[in-house]
Amino acid sequence: MFLRIAGFEFRYQLRNPILWIALTVLGLLVFYVTIGPNSIGEGPGVHKNAHFKVTQLYLMLSLIYMFVSTAFVANAIVRDDETRFGPILRTAPITKAQYLLGRYAGAFTVAALGFLIIPAALFAGTLMPWIDPTRFEPNHLSAYLMPYLCIALPDIFVTSALFFSLATMTRSMLAAYVSVVAFLMLWVGTVAASLNGHGELAAYIDPLGRAAIARTTRYWTPDELNTLGTPIYGVLLWNRIIWIAVGAAALAWALSRFRFGERMPRSARRRAKDAQPSEAIDIAAIRVPATEPRFDGATAWAQLRARTRLEMAQIFRSPAYLVLLGIGLIFTVAGLHDLNPTWGTPSLPVTRLMVQLLNDNYKNIPLIIAIYYSSELVWREQDRNVHEIVGASPIPDWAYVVPKVLGVSLVLVSTLLVSMVGSVGIQLFHGYTELEIGKYLLWYLLPNAADYVLIAILAVFVQAISPHKFVGWGIMLLYVVSRSQLSALGLEDHLYTYAQGPAVPLSDMNGQGQFWIGAWSFRAYWAAFAILLLVLSHALWRRGAETRLMIRLRRLPRRLNGAAGGIAAIAALAFAALGTWCLVNTHVWNVYRTARGDERYSSEYEKLFLRYEKVLQPSVTMVRVKAELWPHQRKLVTSGTLDLVNRQSVPLSEIHLRMRSAETKWTMLAVSGASLAKDYPRFQYRIYRFARPLAPGATARIAFTTVRQQIGFRNANNDTRVVDNGTLIPNMDVVPSIGMDRAELLQDPDARRRNGLSAELHPAQLEDLTATRTNMFNGDWVKTDIILTTDADQTPIAPGAKVADTVQGGRRTARFVSEAPIQNYFSIQSAHYQERHVRHNGVDLAVYYDAQHARNVDRMLTASAHALDTYRSTFGPYQFSHIRVVEFPVYVTAAISFAGTFPYSEGFGFIAELSDPGRIDYTQQVVAHELAHQYWGNQATPAAMQGASMLGETLAQDSAQMVMGKYAGRDQARRHLQQQLDAYLFTRGFERKAEVPLARVESGDNVAYQKGPVVMHRLRDVLGEERVNAALRRYLARFRFRPAPWPRSLDLIAEFRKGASPAENQLITDLFEKITLYDVRTKAAQVRKLADGRYETTLTVEAHKYYATGDGKEREASLAEPVGFGVFASMPGWGAFDAKDMLGRRSVPIHSGEQQIRFVTPAKPAFAGMDPYDILIDRHPEDNIVPTTG
Amino acid sequence: MKLAITNLSHVYANGTRALDGVSLSIPAGMYGLLGPNGAGKSTLMRTVATLQSPTSGSIVFEGIDVLKSPEALRRLLGYLPQEFGVYPRISAYGMLDHMAILKGIAHYAERKEVVEALLHQVNLWGVRKKALTGFSGGMKQRFGIAQALIGNPRLIIVDEPTAGLDPEERSRFLNLLAEIGDRVVVILSTHIVEDVADLCTRMAVLAEGRIVLEGAPQELVAQLRGRIWEKTIDRAALGDHVAAHRVISTRLFAGRTIIHVASDAPPGEGFVPAAGSLQDVYFSTLRASPRAAA
């Protein structure tokens, strides 16, 4: 009987059209993704038919599939109540278990088999002849099957069992769906959020197994991701067992609670008792007053209010809405609670950050509400079968349509308000009491409400003309998908992308700047269009029983007669006028650009000019700049001269000048003794030819004027450099550059391929000595004289000693002159600043900050002092009389090191929440890093080639690490290093480019920033601090302020090698010139009490060393190196661990394979392990320390 | 005061001809529209109630061209559809109050008076605060009647109004209608002949989308006088009688079958003259309509 019920259910569900529609859509989606350039889930570069990638595909799609499988399993149980067939069935001679489990089994089988459409479509995609073969490997059955068996099938089982049980208990399809949504959002909010920390707990509690996979594969290399099978062991295996058991338990629970008896329908339970009095009342005695209806303005107003009230009550009082709001609140909290941490240190919950996080995390709920409730409102009368009564009443159509739009708008506003309340709650929870409700309203509530209402109006219109609710949903889904896909087709113009406009980047310093003007202009433009849609919705309204669109279309002209037509005409006029205004702004006053267009521009640039890269150029020796900034007009006029000298050994006949920023126009350009030979005005690239070639040592001069000004607003990419309050612009954007280089060329391999370029753009190879003629700034040592004028209420800042500062006629002018040679690399800044200065050992330490961000200013000053003292004593003199940290808006989250001047984004550091002393004080770390660049970069400037970032970023990280160890304590420095190691190991699997050894690092990526300091730490550990510092000093002395040839990474490595033993030399090779990884593990630690009362700990350890190729293929190397061991009274790095808990530590030479190490300590150790402080680049740092036994 | 329907036809998208050249002239008073299920009654009612556009034809009420200005008609209209639902989570009072606003009674005090009186009148006063979704069929129907009476309508269309009412409620309702009926046009669409017989001054029979009979019930019954014959037979004999006579109706009584036969002359043995009723008029008309006989 069980099988017969299951079989019936199976066949029944196969006839369900939802099944076939869903499978078709899923199949097409997978096929489309397979043959296209994108992929689903983690690991964009991994082969699309490899185990890992198939697993990701299944994982992501099983989220969507939950809705499909729930539709089957919940329907299997709920339909008997809905069709009222239940009583017939339940009185048949079947048992509860046969009935319930049979139904479940049948529906589950359909869902499980249906999922196979995904591998089938993937497989079909791999057979297409035009696919990019580098994205695939030969098809293996196991790569399709194993993830299906280990991931997809258990996931379908768990979720369907859970929702089947819920549906069984509630007998409600809606309840099942609401719980799917709730489950999904909770999952996204908790599990997905915890993925970033790859937490161990999440690996067990994630019912779908995604966190377990992320945890297991977190350090996998590209090669491993491509070749290793599904990791069905360890945490993933446990996860699967736990959740299959939970699924089974849910079924058992449903079975035990399920009663065959008829459950009273809800309506019956609450049925009103008819209050019929026993004796009939005399009807004739009741006079219904003959009130004549009136149809005037007051009535219309009353009708509008009554309808609005009704629509709102219908939504606000519905349980589904309350659930949705609750989910929204949970979602807000989940998305916002960790406050955008940097290295584990959260930010202060400033309103700007909260709004950004809300915008990132709280997009889908209002969108769903806008689309869902619009359709509910439009179809409500039909759905509730009230359409005839209401339709026949003398209420005008507009009083019918407008309240619906008002209703959905107020619902949207209320959802946004709830998220806002959640956000304020989080602020208060963190003790942050500067509640800026005004900012919430202007930055969050109003713009979002307007945008979502526009979408709701579109949805109302679509539903008004759709023959069925589902058709309307389908159209809206297409619209939502198209919003994200249009830019891939190069269609980005907001003149035709409904309800969209230019982004409004937020800043504490600059507020909404002038960005809001463009955004609201487009909003007004689309609002006018939306009014047209509304009038059309009104005129085409499906009133009463009339559902045919053709009939309604025929009525349209007549119904547009009168007020409706008048409103439509006004809206159309407004639409045209606002459209013209937007068009003029985005296409006439500004250049309309698209992402694809910019790619094309860059590729053409590369094709035209990269060949000039090696053309020898004169060097700049003196820069004189006069910059006039009008912040409120967003205008910067820069004029000046560049003195040139020919430092080459041959005469130079040409000079190549370019303006890198397309937004800045040069209005005057002249080179003494040279004339314009070739001009590429579109690219602002000019070649001047000297009348007489410039002899070695001869000089020349460039005179220039450039103008950068944004008038009105753009479709996108509004200028964030020259702004109202917080201008930061580097010299390359306003001063002509000399000679071609590789900065700013296209990097993304897909974009390069699309535009007919080689897939990868590499810097010069380490062996290419001609590359040492150019440094990473493509410049030379110069002196600067910068005069910057801005509005009097702002502070002008540029590198150099300030020699004059005057205010005249509402304008403030300051002059900055360089005290030491600097690279031709500087910035201009201006904003309304507070200043704090400290005189420290002859140097003026200063922070220029916004009044709202005084909190960490003293920390920055302290960091400057600490770093200055450390570097002076370790590396040598500091070249300037000042250290300026200058805040700038969060349009970029970074700190940059210009000569003695560090622009530091308001987005981190300034708002770091450091009240807990256990947190990493990255605010100080960043200052120390930037100050270190005054040595590593601004004294010794690396050549523009492989390894440049090692000489810049790695050394700056290492120096900052040194300061942190000295002042914040070894423990914090060590924890920060562990974070760096974790980040390096985690990201290396997902890099698009092949990994290179540190000496060949090609950009400022995870190798330079994160692996670099770990490598330097090991080097310092083995060679000793003093030897490493001496090598750094020698390197610095050799290249300090010296002209070309510029240093290579090998020059520094050579210094490290001086006086090194063969073993040390090998280590240096492993660290810098190879990709070396270790796998060390403590298997056991046995403690024995000795006769003298002391304790002997015997550690059994296993160690291996590997060399890896660029894509992560590993080969074992013989290991013979000293490695640190330690025994501890408590777990190091945890809770109350204290330095005195370290009972013994020593370095022991070890070899590949298993071995035993002995320690004798006076106290009994509780923990022991190998490489306890993660000095090695160990792929499994979590198994280094174990609790002792015995 | 008169509702004139001229040559009204309606063809649904699937080709069903629901109305076929219907012309009616309906004066003030109760007007019964009889017809079997599927005859097109509800289509006609909905069309007059401005909820549906006919394929062709015209409807004029008190000088209002209903198809051109449905808004104007709605101001004079009270409509009780055959089937209707209610909004969830709203009380009888709340919904009736809401309908009163929609019907143009915006003034609070006036509305209160109207709504309260109507609730008393349809005997829902005691449950006025209860949610409509919990109402039984009869209670809901009474609510429907109440809303149709709001605002002094000149044209009242009630579609199968007594369905689901118990006999007592039905009589209350019919009394209520009768009271209003002489002042305004009331169209009562039903397949229950007694409703029409009890109430209406004029009536029409609609079958297969056509008007097959129109007139005053008494006159129609009078026309049948002496033409209706009754006979009580065994059930087994029914087939023979149907073959031999124009049987217009059959009903069971105490296990035997009573048949009515229309005939100008006495149809034969065992038949006794029956007092013609509207029921006989209705059924004889239906049997006479060739298409409806199938």
A238 within 8 A of A204, measured Cβ to Cβ: yes
Q: CA-CA-CA-CA torsion for A1169, A1175, A1178, A1184, nearest 10 degrees?
A: 10
Task: Indicate if A551 and A413 belong to the same structural domain.
Answer: yes
User: How far does B192 lie from chain A, in Å, by closest CA?
Assistant: 22
Cβ separation of B90 and A310 shorter than 8 Å?
yes
| Residue that the structure tokens 């809800």 belong to | A266
Task: Indicate if A999 and A1081 belong to the same structural domain.
Answer: no
User: Which residues does chain A have within 8 Å of residue B119's beta carbon, measured at their own beta carbons?
Assistant: none
- A408 lies in some domain: yes
Residue of A264, A291, A305, A543 to mutate, interface with B, max B Cβ within 10 Å = A291
Choose among A196, A123, A336, A375: nearest CA to A986. A196
A430 vs A433: CA distance, rounded Å: 9
- The closest CB to that of A293, out of B75, B117, B168, belongs to B75
Query: Would you tell me which residues 151-180 of chain B have a C-beta closer than 8 angstroms to some C-beta of chain A?
Result: 151-152, 168, 172, 175-176, 179
E strands within A351-394?
Answer: none
Q: Provide DSSP, A126-192.
A: HT-TTS-GGG-----HHHHHHHIIIIIHHHHHHHHHHHHHHHHHH--HHHHHHHHHHHHHHIIIIII
The average pLDDT across A584-611 equals 94
What CATH number did the domain enclosing A649 receive?
2.60.40
User: How far does B155 lie from chain A, in Å, by closest CA?
Assistant: 12
**Pairing mode of beta strands A619-630, A781-791:** parallel
What's the token pair of residue A315?
């939504």
User: Which residues does chain B have within 8 Å of residue A314's beta carbon, measured at their own beta carbons?
Assistant: 87-89
User: Which residues does chain A have within 8 Å of residue B84's beta carbon, measured at their own beta carbons?
Assistant: 385-386, 388-389
Q: Does pLDDT of A272 surpass 70?
A: no
- A389 lies in some domain: yes
CB distance from B223 to chain A under 8 Å?
A: no
Q: Which residue of B has its CA nearest to A551?
A: B53
CB distance from B240 to chain A under 8 Å?
A: no
Q: What is the pLDDT of residue A180?
A: 82
Q: Does pLDDT of A264 surpass 60?
A: no
User: Which residues does chain A have within 8 Å of residue B133's beta carbon, measured at their own beta carbons?
Assistant: 267, 270
CA distances from A816 to A51, A686, A783, A787, A1043 (A): 60, 29, 11, 6, 24
What's the token pair of residue A726?
């917080």
Choose among A55, A43, A320: nearest CA to A176. A320
CB distance from A291 to chain B under 8 Å?
A: yes
pLDDT category, A279, cuts 50, 70, 90?
A: very low
What CATH number did the domain enclosing A962 receive?
1.10.390.10
CB distance from B235 to chain A under 8 Å?
A: no
CB distance from B105 to chain A under 8 Å?
A: yes
Q: Which of A558-572, A879-893, A1113-1127, B47-61 has the highest mean pLDDT?
A: A879-893
Cβ separation of A318 and B89 shorter than 8 Å?
yes
To 5 degrees, how large is the angle CA A650–CA A653–CA A654? 120
The average pLDDT across A260-264 equals 56
- The closest CB to that of A303, out of B50, B101, B179, belongs to B101
The string of pLDDT tens digits covering residues A337-386 is 777 778 888 899 999 999 998 988 777 778 878 888 888 888 888 888 88
- A342 lies in some domain: no
E strands within A793-941?
Answer: 795-797, 801-808, 811-817, 822-823, 827-831, 834-840, 843-849, 882-888, 901-905
B180 vs A286: CA distance, rounded Å: 13
- A813 lies in some domain: no
Task: Indicate if A388 and A476 belong to the same structural domain.
Answer: yes
pLDDT category, A35, cuts 50, 70, 90?
A: confident
- The closest CB to that of A287, out of B106, B117, B138, belongs to B117
What's the token pair of residue A900?
């003695």
Cβ separation of A276 and B123 shorter than 8 Å?
yes
Q: Provide DSSP, A955-980.
A: HHHHHHHHHHHHHT-HHHHHHHHHHH
To 5 degrees, how large is the angle CA A671–CA A674–CA A680? 75
Q: What is the pLDDT of residue B293?
A: 38
**Pairing mode of beta strands A1095-1108, A1142-1151:** unpaired
The string of pLDDT tens digits covering residues A879-932 is 999 999 999 999 999 999 999 999 999 988 899 988 888 788 899 999 999 999
- The closest CB to that of A292, out of B102, B139, B152, belongs to B152
Q: Does pLDDT of A1017 surpass 90?
A: yes
Q: Residue A541 — φ and ψ, nearest 5°?
A: -55, 140
The string of pLDDT tens digits covering residues A751-808 is 898 899 998 889 999 999 999 999 999 889 999 999 999 999 999 999 999 999 999 9
Q: Does pLDDT of A276 surpass 60?
A: no
B47 within 8 A of B5, measured Cβ to Cβ: no
Q: Residue B213 — φ and ψ, nearest 5°?
A: -160, 145
CB distance from B49 to chain A under 8 Å?
A: yes
Q: What is the pLDDT of residue A920?
A: 86
Task: Indicate if A585 and A667 belong to the same structural domain.
Answer: no
Task: Indicate if A1063 and A993 belong to the same structural domain.
Answer: yes
Q: Does pLDDT of A93 surpass 90?
A: no
Q: What is the pLDDT of residue A795?
A: 97
- The closest CB to that of B75, out of A284, A295, A298, belongs to A295
Task: Indicate if A1134 and A1019 belong to the same structural domain.
Answer: no
Of residues A401 and A18, the one with the higher pLDDT is: A401
- A135 lies in some domain: yes
Neighbours of A1165 (CB within 10 A): 22
Cβ separation of A280 and B84 shorter than 8 Å?
no
User: Which residues does chain B have within 8 Å of residue A293's beta carbon, measured at their own beta carbons?
Assistant: 75, 103-105, 151-152
Average pLDDT of chain A to the nearest whole number:
88
CB distance from A277 to chain B under 8 Å?
A: yes
Task: Indicate if A46 and A66 belong to the same structural domain.
Answer: yes
> Which residues constitute the domain of residue A14?
2-261
Q: What is the pLDDT of residue A192?
A: 58
A1104 within 8 A of A1078, measured Cβ to Cβ: yes
Task: Indicate if A27 and A157 belong to the same structural domain.
Answer: yes
A150 vs A55: CA distance, rounded Å: 9
Q: Does pLDDT of A268 surpass 50?
A: no
User: How far does B59 lie from chain A, in Å, by closest CA?
Assistant: 15
A890 vs A353: CA distance, rounded Å: 10
Last residue within a domain, chosen from A1073, A1095, A1124: A1073
Choose among A620, A619, A638, A618: nearest CA to A628. A638
The string of pLDDT tens digits covering residues A428-466 is 988 899 899 999 999 999 999 999 999 999 999 999 998
- A867 lies in some domain: no
Q: What is the pLDDT of residue A195?
A: 55
> For A346, which DSSP code?
P
A1046 vs A167: CA distance, rounded Å: 71
Query: Would you tell me which residues 188-207 of chain A have a C-beta closer than 8 angstroms to some C-beta of chain B?
Result: none
Structurally, how many domains does chain A consist of?
5
Amino acid at A623: V
Q: Residue A1029 — φ and ψ, nearest 5°?
A: -65, -35
CB distance from A285 to chain B under 8 Å?
A: no
Query: Would you tell me which residues 1114-1173 of chain A have a C-beta closer than 8 angstroms to some C-beta of chain B?
Result: none
User: Which residues does chain B have within 8 Å of residue A288's beta carbon, measured at their own beta carbons?
Assistant: 114, 117-118, 121, 149
- A790 lies in some domain: no
E strands within A362-459?
Answer: none
Query: Would you tell me which residues 542-601 of chain A have a C-beta closer than 8 angstroms to some C-beta of chain B?
Result: 543-546, 548, 551, 555, 558
Task: Indicate if A118 and A202 belong to the same structural domain.
Answer: yes
The string of pLDDT tens digits covering residues A103-134 is 899 999 999 999 999 999 999 988 888 777 77
Q: Residue A22 — φ and ψ, nearest 5°?
A: -60, -45
Residue of A270, A388, A541, A549 to mutate, interface with B, max B Cβ within 10 Å = A388
Q: Say which residues have a Cβ less than 8 Å from residue B242's Cβ, sequence separation at least 6.
A: none
User: Which residues does chain B have within 8 Å of residue A551's beta carbon, measured at their own beta carbons?
Assistant: 53
B157 vs B188: CA distance, rounded Å: 6
User: Which H/E stretch holds residue B288?
Assistant: helix B278-288
The string of pLDDT tens digits covering residues A330-343 is 777 777 777 777 88
To 5 degrees, how large is the angle CA A297–CA A547–CA B142? 65
Task: Indicate if A495 and A355 belong to the same structural domain.
Answer: yes
User: Which residues does chain B have within 8 Å of residue A283's beta carbon, measured at their own beta carbons?
Assistant: 121, 172, 175-176, 179
Q: Please list the ranges in chain B whose pLDDT falls under 70.
A: 289-294
pLDDT category, A82, cuts 50, 70, 90?
A: low
pLDDT category, A191, cuts 50, 70, 90?
A: low
Cβ separation of A388 and B86 shorter than 8 Å?
no
Q: What is the pLDDT of residue A281?
A: 54
A884 within 8 A of A807, measured Cβ to Cβ: no
A120 vs A129: CA distance, rounded Å: 17
Task: Indicate if A454 and A378 belong to the same structural domain.
Answer: yes
ipTM computed for the complex: 0.88
pLDDT category, A278, cuts 50, 70, 90?
A: very low
CA distances from A1082 to A1014, A1104, A1155, A1164, A1189 (A): 21, 12, 10, 18, 13
In this predicted structure, which of A108-112, A197-201, A234-238, A634-638 has the lowest mean pLDDT? Answer: A197-201
Which residues are paired to B8 by β-bridges?
B22
pLDDT category, A267, cuts 50, 70, 90?
A: very low
User: Which residues does chain A have within 8 Å of residue B137's beta carbon, measured at their own beta carbons?
Assistant: none
Task: Indicate if A566 and A477 belong to the same structural domain.
Answer: yes
Choose among A771, A824, A776: nearest CA to A951. A776
Of residues A135 and A337, the one with the higher pLDDT is: A135
What's the token pair of residue A1046?
């510029």
Q: What is the pLDDT of residue A156?
A: 93
CB distance from A282 to chain B under 8 Å?
A: no
User: How far does A1183 lie from chain B, in Å, by closest CA?
Assistant: 60
Chain A, chain B: beta-carbon pairs less than 8 Å apart: 167
B227 vs B276: CA distance, rounded Å: 8
- A112 lies in some domain: yes
